[in-house]
């Protein structure tokens, strides 16, 4: 269930409610309210509460109403919020703001990893010229082997900051540790939580609590079901940050011909289940740059709100994920084609879940 807090509730009334909720839910942590649709709300698993307790909660002065929600994820559910959530990106740190989640698809592009100043700034200018609206670049890299390039760390964040100042593009970069959320949020317009960390619950909570409302792009785990993914989003939202963007990046399959299996059917399905914006990552999904343009077009046709693409000025010399990286010229063609496709399917996307 979702508890909607009365906007006129005073701190004493709220205090009573929070104490009651902690007691009945057995929570050892303070319960946080999240602002959605201009209202403060708290999600609770109502199935563990008996009718008497539910009624006591609803009679609290701080409570305006209770909305029963059947699904395990609540704040993320379409049942709770019928209208699409659009997330404003880039307004906090001086970039040119963009909206993710409305009819215009957003293209996020840049290198897998920030390698050095020249590589990042060259790529940043090139992706901007090609029509991308947000710059990606990993400073902290989750690599399968500890002997692979791990990223430049905080130095990479400084270079991303410089790239934002030069181009005006908002920045997205990955955060891997709960302790680093505040640091990364000082530089990043969007925090990325990678596939390998989709169920790192302390990290999800920290991204919800310590990232001053900075949008968080949550990538689907390598073998995560859609429900597990939405519940991971719910962790971030329940900790206080409603600005979550989902990113489908392919799931593990049996066939080594592609790096992962792009689950495009999740896009229209998510439109039905959730109000959160949905981005697709055809780079990690396919692992092969020759497949990226086709799957980019398909993703927008399926109703994605945008794409995240790995771009490198010289893909064959990239320190990370060169095989799936495209050139700025290829990016420009994708921007052009997906803009045309979005004009055809844009209106339909709004209605697909209502059918
Ligand atoms: C990345 O975006 O470079 C990355 C590591 O992504 P994923 O978590 O999807 O593997
Ligand atoms: Mn990568």
Average pLDDT rounded to a whole number, residues 295-324: 97
Q: Which residue minimizes the CA distance to atom 6 of ligand 1?
A: 194
Percent of all residues in the chain with a pLDDT value above 90, rounded to a whole number: 91
Give the Å distance between the CA of 235 and the centre of ligand 1. Answer: 20
Write out the DSSP string of 16-63.
Answer: HHHHHHHHHHT-SSPPPPEEETTEEEEE--GGGS-HHHHHHHHTSTTE
327 burial via Cβ count (<10 Å: 0-12, 13-18, 19+):
middle
Where residue 47 falls among pLDDT bands split at 50, 70, 90? confident
> What is the rounded distance in angstroms from the CA atom of residue 177 to the CA atom of residue 222?
18
Angle, CA 201 vertex, CA 198 and CA 255 arms, to 5°: 25
pLDDT at position 347 is 61
> What is the rounded distance in angstroms from the CA atom of residue 262 to the CA atom of residue 267?
11
Least confident interval from 36-50, 73-87, 108-122, 238-252:
36-50
Q: Which residue minimizes the CA distance to atom 10 of ligand 1?
A: 195
For the CA of 198, the nearest ligand = 1
pLDDT in tens, 56-69: 999 999 999 999 99
> What is the rounded distance in angstroms from the CA atom of residue 282 to the CA atom of residue 196?
17
| Cβ proximity of 109 and 128 under 8 Å | no
Hey, which residues does 172 pair with through a beta bridge? 136, 190
pLDDT at position 350 is 54
Q: Is 353 helix (H, G, I), strand (E, B) or coil?
A: coil
Q: Which residue minimizes the CA distance to atom 4 of ligand 1?
A: 194
Q: Which residue shows structure tokens 């530089």?
A: 187
For the CA of 321, the nearest ligand = 2
pLDDT in tens, 226-268: 999 999 999 999 999 999 999 999 999 999 999 999 999 999 9
Q: Which residue minimizes the CA distance to atom 3 of ligand 1?
A: 112
> What is the rounded distance in angstroms from the CA atom of residue 151 to the CA atom of residue 116?
10
pLDDT in tens, 23-38: 998 888 888 899 998 9
Q: Which residue minimizes the CA distance to atom 8 of ligand 1?
A: 194
Structure tokens at 168: 């005006």
Reply yes or no on whether the pLDDT at 149 is more than 60: yes
Give the Å distance between the CA of 291 and the centre of ligand 2. Answer: 15
**Ligand 1 atom, smallest distance to 219 CA:** 9
- CA 111 from chain center: how many Å? 18
Reply yes or no on whether the pLDDT at 135 is more than 90: yes
Give the Å distance between the CA of 195 and the centre of ligand 2. Answer: 11
Percent of all residues in the chain with a pLDDT value above 70, rounded to a whole number: 97
Give the Å distance between the CA of 284 and the centre of ligand 1. Answer: 7
Where residue 48 falls among pLDDT bands split at 50, 70, 90? confident
**Ligand 1 atom, smallest distance to 142 CA:** 5
Q: Which residue minimizes the CA distance to atom 1 of ligand 1?
A: 112
User: Residues with beta carbon inside 6 Å of ligand 1?
Assistant: 112, 138, 142, 194-196, 219, 249, 284
**Ligand 1 atom, smallest distance to 196 CA:** 8
pLDDT in tens, 156-209: 999 999 999 999 999 999 999 999 999 999 999 999 999 999 999 999 999 999
pLDDT at position 56 is 95
- Tell which wins on pLDDT, 337 or 30: 337
Reply yes or no on whether the pLDDT at 335 is more than 70: yes
Ligand 1 probe mutation, 174, 190, 229, most atoms within 8 A of CB: 174
Hey, which residues does 192 pair with through a beta bridge? 174, 217
pLDDT at position 213 is 87
pLDDT at position 293 is 98
Exposed e or buried b per residue across 142-151, where buried means at least 16 C-beta atoms within 10 angstroms of its C-beta: eeeeeeeebb
pLDDT at position 27 is 85
Ligand 1 probe mutation, 281, 312, 324, most atoms within 8 A of CB: 281
Where residue 104 falls among pLDDT bands split at 50, 70, 90? very high
Reply yes or no on whether the pLDDT at 349 is more than 70: no
316 burial via Cβ count (<10 Å: 0-12, 13-18, 19+):
exposed
Average pLDDT rounded to a whole number, residues 2-22: 95
pLDDT at position 29 is 85
pLDDT, the chain, mean: 95
């Amino acid at each position: 269930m979702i508890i909607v807090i009365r906007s006129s509730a005073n701190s004493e009334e709220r205090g009573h409610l929070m104490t009651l909720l902690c007691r009945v839910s057995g929570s050892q942590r303070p319960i946080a309210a999240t602002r959605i649709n201009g209202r403060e709300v708290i999600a609770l698993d109502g199935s563990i509460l008996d009718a008497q307790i539910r009624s006591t909660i609803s009679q609290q002065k701080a409570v305006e109403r209770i909305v029963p929600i059947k699904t395990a994820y609540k704040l993320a559910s379409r049942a709770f919020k019928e209208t699409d959530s659009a997330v404003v990106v880039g307004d906090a740190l001086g970039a040119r703001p963009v909206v993710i989640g409305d009819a215009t698809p957003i293209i996020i592009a840049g290198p897998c990893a920030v390698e050095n100043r020249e590589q990042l700034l060259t790529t940043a200018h090139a992706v901007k010229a090609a029509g991308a609206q947000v710059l990606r670049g990993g400073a902290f890299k989750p690599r399968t082997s500890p002997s692979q390039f791990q990223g430049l760390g905080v130095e990479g964040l400084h270079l991303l900051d410089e790239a934002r100042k030069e181009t005006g593009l908002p920045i997205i970069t990955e955060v891997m540790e709960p302790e680093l959320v505040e640091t990364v949020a000082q530089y990043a317009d969007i925090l990325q939580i990678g596939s390998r960390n989709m169920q790192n619950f302390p990290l999800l909570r920290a991204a919800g609590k310590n990232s001053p409302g900075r949008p968080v792009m949550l990538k689907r785990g390598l073998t995560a079901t859609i429900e597990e993914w939405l519940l991971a989003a719910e962790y971030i939202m329940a900790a206080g940050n409603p600005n979550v963007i989902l990113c489908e990046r392919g799931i593990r399959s049996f066939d080594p011909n592609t790096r992962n299996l792009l689950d495009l059917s999740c896009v229209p399905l998510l439109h039905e289940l959730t109000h959160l914006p949905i981005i697709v990552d055809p780079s990690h999904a396919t692992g092969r740059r020759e497949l990226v343009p086709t799957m980019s077009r398909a993703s927008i046709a399926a109703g994605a709100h945008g794409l995240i693409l790995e771009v490198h000025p010289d893909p064959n010399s990239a320190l990370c994920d060169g095989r799936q990286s495209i050139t700025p010229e290829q990016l420009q063609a994708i921007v052009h084609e997906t803009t045309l496709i979005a004009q055809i399917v844009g209106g339909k996307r709004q209605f697909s879940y209502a059918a």
